[in-house]
A and B are shown apart, each in its own frame.
Chain A
Amino acid sequence: QVQLQESGPGLVEPSETLSLTCAVSGYSITRGYYWGWIRQPPGRGLEWIGTIYHSGTTYYNMSLKSRVTIAVDTSKNQFSLRLSSVTAADTAVYYCARVGQWWYFDYWGQGTLVTVSS
């Protein structure tokens, strides 16, 4: 059974960089599939942040592209998210997920709340 688990600081100061890791178990990232990050501000809808392939190829939401970096660490079977120059608008629950065969998100982490505040 594929499982994903997000981890990282729950509080980030404005203008700093948000960093999260998604640990994958039950499936080797190197076997294929794409892996993504999605976020959800409190009380609002879902926003796709970006996606990465095990080769390291990345695709980003154009509205966030200048601030986002997604990387993969196949040796640890995990991938990561970095979002720079954060503001209060970046406060959200951040989810990691696997992209299924037909480009949907089939396995999700439980989500982690990141609050941007001083």
Chain B
Amino acid sequence: DVQVTQSPSALSASVGDRVTFTCRASQSINNLLAWYQQKPGKAPKLLIYKASTLESGVPSRFSGSGSGTEFTLTISSLQPDDFATYYCQQYNNYLWTFGQGTKVEIK
């Protein structure tokens, strides 16, 4: 099975900061990587799919990049609504795996 490792597990940031999270896969996953935002008590919300495609309705301050085994999610200017936990998810050969999550907290 493909494993995914997210880093950092948590970070503190201020409104307006540029923040970047990383997701590393244990093998190449053909860019079949998605990013989700989850707030307490809510279902995850899809932000990015196919590594860099922005889901409809998601603000353009969110962007994804990467290929092969290393991927990043960037928030260009952190907004109050962005304080949440972010997960990456890979797909390979009919198996899905989520990363452990990165919690973004207010500094």
Which A residues form the contact surface with B (CB < 8 A)?
Answer: 36, 38, 45-48, 51, 59, 61-62, 95, 97, 100, 102-106, 108-111
- The stretch of B19-27, B65-73, B76-84, B87-95 that contacts the partner chain: B87-95
Q: How far is the CA of A36 from the CA of B87 in the complex (A)?
A: 17
| A38: chain B residues within 8 A (beta carbon) | 98
B66 to chain A, nearest CB (A): 15
- What per-residue 1/0 map shows which CB atoms of B48-72 lie under 8 Å from chain A? 0110010100000000000000000
CB–CB B91/A95 < 8 A? no
B96 to chain A, nearest CB (A): 4
CB–CB A105/B97 < 8 A? no
Q: Give the interface size bracket for B toward A.
A: 20 to 34
Which B residues form the contact surface with A (CB < 8 A)?
Answer: 1, 32, 34, 36, 38, 42-46, 49-50, 53, 55, 87, 89, 91, 94-101
| B49: chain A residues within 8 A (beta carbon) | 100, 102, 104, 106
| B97: chain A residues within 8 A (beta carbon) | 48
CB–CB B46/A104 < 8 A? yes
B32 interface neighbour in A36, A45, A103, Cβ under 8 Å: A103
| B34: chain A residues within 8 A (beta carbon) | 102-105
A17 to chain B, nearest CB (A): 23
Closest B residue, CB atoms, query A106: B46
**Given A46-B87, A48-B96, A59-B95, residue A105 in contact with residue B44 (CB < 8 A):** yes
CB–CB A103/B98 < 8 A? no
| A51: chain B residues within 8 A (beta carbon) | 94, 96
| B89: chain A residues within 8 A (beta carbon) | 46, 48, 104-105
